[in-house]
Amino acid sequence: MNWGIPDFLQKKLLFVTGKGGVGKSTVAIALGIRAALEGRRTIVCEVASSENASRIFHQAAVGFKEVELANDLWAISIDPEDAMKEYVLLQLKVRAMRDLLFRSRVFTYFAAATPGLNELVTIGKIWELAQLDRKVKHGRKYDLVIVDAPATGHGISFLQTPRTFARIARVGPVHSQAEQLEAMVTDPAQTGSIVVSLPEEMPVNETARLEHELVDDIGMTVDRVIMNALYPDRFPADATRAIDRLAASDDPEVRAGGRAALSQARRVAAQTEQFERLKKMVSAPISTLPFVFRPEIDLHAARQLAEVVE
């Protein structure tokens, strides 16, 4: 089946972020599935060691390796220490020098004591994955790199890291490489972002603030806001009185059904109110995803979400 690929999945690099608990990891994986179904060679990068991809696809822990999950779909979990070692290996060609550096306490202390260094090498690895001419031996070429980015506050500081290092290191290779990373993050032709929200007051407020910070503070493009976990609206507007009568019935089974229907109708009304608030508070176009009535998101549910992404 071909649904037509959303415009934001035609970019080279896509960061998925949002307030903690809104389902951004699930959305990142669903977007990866959708892109792969559309024939784009896609890798989903997890940066918080959450290993959601391995859980959903019933794989062993992915770790710092490019693991194939399905046709045209891969995953990697980027550990900063592994990313740092890979970076050093690419920079130093003499093996003895590399081994000596890794064993050095000074290097270990420097890496641990430099604020933002972990974030910088992580973004550097993401950049490397997005290159057509990759430096890593046997590195695959991907059409799309989807990043399951850190949640809100940490996510902003994470994406600001290249600019911060470019300003601190005014000359030299760190400066030039940080500038290169910043140029990639802020290039709307290559890179976009998705902000995931929930139909609740605090996530909606956080989404509006996050969009502002991504656009104005970092210079990124917010391609889409996705409101996740919307309940289905099962009842017409004129059914409220009938539902109220069922909820007040003397028959316990009818009353239970009526109360369940009343609870859902109220939930839908509250979510609709928050959805209308979100439309007024953000500039990016909004897509929606339905609530998944399952104990946890499995592969079947993730694929269902992938198919309904607008």
Q: Quote the number of domains for the chain.
A: 1
CB 42 within 8 A of CB 143: yes
Distance CA 62, CA 109 (A): 28
The reply to whether 276 falls in a domain is: no
The reply to whether 218 falls in a domain is: yes
Residue with tokens 């902000």: 195
pLDDT by 10-residue block (mean), the chain, 310 residues: 77 96 95 96 88 86 92 94 78 58 56 72 93 85 96 89 86 83 95 97 97 96 97 81 80 84 87 97 97 90 91
The size of the chain, in residues, is 310
DSSP class of 139: P
Tokens of 185: 């993050």
The reply to whether 125 falls in a domain is: yes
The reply to whether 278 falls in a domain is: no
Distance CA 177, CA 164 (A): 12
For 71, the domain range is 7-231+284-308
pLDDT of residue 238: 73
Q: Which of 19, 60, 72, 26 is nearest to 46 (CA)?
A: 26
pLDDT of residue 2: 47
Residues β-bridged to residue 300? none
CATH of the domain at 74: 3.40.50.300
pLDDT of residue 125: 94
The reply to whether 139 falls in a domain is: yes
Amino acid sitting at position 109: Y
pLDDT of residue 265: 86
- pTM over the 0.85 mark: yes
